[in-house]
Structure 1
Amino acid sequence: MTAAATEPFGPLAPFAHPAFFYRDEQEYLDGTLPFVHDGLDAGEPVAVAVPGKNLALIKDALGDAAGAVRLLDMREAGRNPGRIIPGVLRAFADAQPAGRRVRIIGEPVWAGRSDTEYPACAQHEALINAAFQGRTATIMCPYDVARLPEHMVADAYATHPTVIHPGTRTARDNDAYAPGDVVSRYNEPLAPVRDALTFSFVSDSLPHARHVAVGEGARLGLVGVKLDDLALATAELTTNSVVHGGGSGVLRVWAEDGYVVCEVRDEGRLADILAGRRPVPRDQRGGRGILLVNLIADLVRVHRSDSGTTVRCWFAR
């Protein structure tokens, strides 16, 4: 590894995405606070989206300056990793004046993320680079190397073009950077599930597919807004299958670890790796299906293959 630039936290133009490795609370603050203050001093809009405990650390340490920073609990805003780019990072960046550099701390990977959630986290980190290509932004992603397993730290190297090691403030070039490999590696087949309600649908049966999903979701314990979210996700995904996935598909619904899970499988090929993660212009017609599902579901996983696409989404009971 060689030093990137003399600027703290890496090169400033046009997009920087360093991984910041830390081992304890002091190292965390030693790395995050200067990053925030440097942004504020430069007149850059600053956002911090990290898990609640770390958010409290930063907020307390910033004191009065915290009022100038957009603060978000990543356990809520980014529970579904597929929501982070459109609903957190781009939502903040796109709200700023055109061409103005933004500075964001985003911590989507923390100890306690489930094995079901983590593949979506790794893909998210890899896809940030494509989603912000050519934009003026610095997004620093902290990783707790004392608590995270080795494969997650290895993935951090693969998804960030530069890294900041504990006790330093200088981003260094990263020879292990290979985001495409991470996207492909975690495009893994979703584990088969027994005892799921299964319904095959075509265009004429779209209303019935939604009715079936809502009935089963209610039977399994979903109520209120969550049941409405399941209905909306089912409508969007099944309609996508009819319009873009060969005219038909298969809907499955089941209960799993405190969630109701909805899956839609069809023969379409989802070639756009940023589908569902890219904000859609207001004047664009269509193209919001998977994006909408990402924004309302607690977790979304997608498997792409030559034979079709499977989208699986989780809703907490």
Structure 2
Amino acid sequence: MITCSDGFAHDVLFFGSTDDLLAVTVPFLRRGLAQGEAALVFDAGHNGTPIVQALSNEPGIGRVTRDAHQRPARTLSLFQHTVEEALASGARGVRIAGDVGLPVRPSHWAEWVRFEAAFNDVLAGYPVQAVCPWNTRQFSDEALRTVQRTHPSIITAHSRRPNPDYLQPRDYLSRFAVPAPDPLETTEPTLTIADVTDLDLLRRRLDDTLTGCVLQLEDIEDFTFAVIEVATNALQHGRPPVQIRLWCADRKILCTVRDHGPGFDDPLAGYYTAGRADLTQRPLGLWLVRRLCDHLDFFTRADHFTVRLTTTA
């Protein structure tokens, strides 16, 4: 029998068949119910579906779903909110099994792996045990090795063992989530502002530039708000000039916001849900920004700090 210690656990399950998936996840969730814990299936319409079907007659099994286009940072907040609700309702702990967020679009892969790393820090203070299944038939060996670095333990139907390749969240995000240059940045920007001083004017210029982009209006509005939030932080906490460069490609919007201050170097900035006590030491605006665009990168160079935002159709 596979057992988990009390407190936090985040296990990776590499499976090659539905039988392998169910052999671990179904007993794992049933044991949680027997011990007075909340048992949840995270169903994103991929790996979670067989688990939902296998436990369809189990009245105590809860289900957490995400919209097909929900961004990883929002999913992380959904997990935290769901866990807090279960504990407030009297659960001794929370067990989660299912698909952790198979990217609907390949361009979101890096963000979902960041999600896996951040999960270990954001939920570490909760009595949460999570089993994250990754299908060995769907992902390359390289992709699976990357995923393995973000899970403290490896679980199978017969054993559970510490993962020797696990990296702490900050170590992983600092070493393996370093932003590479985007090819768009080598082309002429659609909009350049050399020195932002008026946020109302910036908003108008963004609205004018983004009108007609091949994205949903909601995505454009979210992206505009995110750029304004980052520019506000740069004006308040950075050093002038604050510079904007924006590219509006066929199905993609990319914007860089640069100031000449030291910036910050916490790779987990923006992953924490508003309201936590330690948020007083973190850039709050990035919590919103991560939920309003598909990708958020930030990096420091010799004489400037840059935040890069990207949304794709």
Same fold (TM over 0.5): yes
Partner amino acid, structure 1, of 2:258: R
2:84 corresponding residue in structure 1:
94
Distance 1:287 1:43 in 2: 37
Q: Is the 8 A contact 1:50 1:75 kept in 2?
A: no
Once superposed, what is the RMSD of the aligned Cα atoms?
2.8
5+ long unaligned stretches in structure 1? 1-5
1:295 paired with 2:295, answer: no
SS at match of 1:271: coil
Shift of 1:154: 0.8
Distance 1:220 1:156 in 2: 34
TM-score (norm 2): 0.84
Partner amino acid, structure 1, of 2:298: H
5+ long unaligned stretches in structure 2? none
Matches within 5 A, 1:12-31: 12-31=5-24
Distance 1:219 1:74 in 2: 25
Partner amino acid, structure 2, of 1:59: V
1:313 paired with 2:310, answer: yes
* 1:253-293 CA distance string (max 9 Å, x none): 33346233333333442322221110111897894322112
Q: Is the 8 A contact 2:66 2:75 kept in 1?
A: no
Compared with structure 1, are the counterparts of its residues 230 and 157 closer, same or farther at alpha carbon in structure 2 (3 Å cutoff)? closer
Distance 2:59 2:158 in 1: 21
Distance 1:220 1:257 in 2: 7
Distance 2:230 2:215 in 1: 19
1:136 paired with 2:127, answer: yes
Shift of 1:106: 5.3
Shift of 1:21: 0.9
Identity %: 24
Q: Is the 8 A contact 2:41 2:96 kept in 1?
A: yes
SS at match of 1:204: coil
Q: Is the 8 A contact 1:74 1:107 kept in 2?
A: no
Shift of 1:109: 5.3
Distance 1:74 1:181 in 2: 30
1:276 paired with 2:261, answer: no
Q: Select between 279-288 and 91-100 the one with higher mean Cα deviation.
A: 279-288
1:171 corresponding residue in structure 2:
160
SS at match of 2:24: helix
Distance 2:20 2:216 in 1: 43
Partner of residue 155 from structure 1, selected from 136, 146, 150: 146
TM-score (norm 1): 0.83
Distance 2:295 2:257 in 1: 11
1:189 corresponding residue in structure 2:
180
Distance 1:84 1:237 in 2: 22
1:232 corresponding residue in structure 2:
225
Partner of residue 41 from structure 2, selected from 39, 48, 51: 48
Partner amino acid, structure 2, of 1:172: R
Distance 1:106 1:95 in 2: 19
Distance 1:189 1:211 in 2: 30
Compared with structure 1, are the counterparts of its residues 55 and 175 closer, same or farther at alpha carbon in structure 2 (3 Å cutoff)? closer
Number of residue pairs aligned between Structure 1 and Structure 2 = 302
Partner amino acid, structure 1, of 2:305: G
Shift of 1:241: 1.4
* 1:68-93 CA distance string (max 9 Å, x none): 4032146344xx2233322x221212
Distance 1:257 1:24 in 2: 39
Compared with structure 1, are the counterparts of its residues 170 and 265 closer, same or farther at alpha carbon in structure 2 (3 Å cutoff)? farther
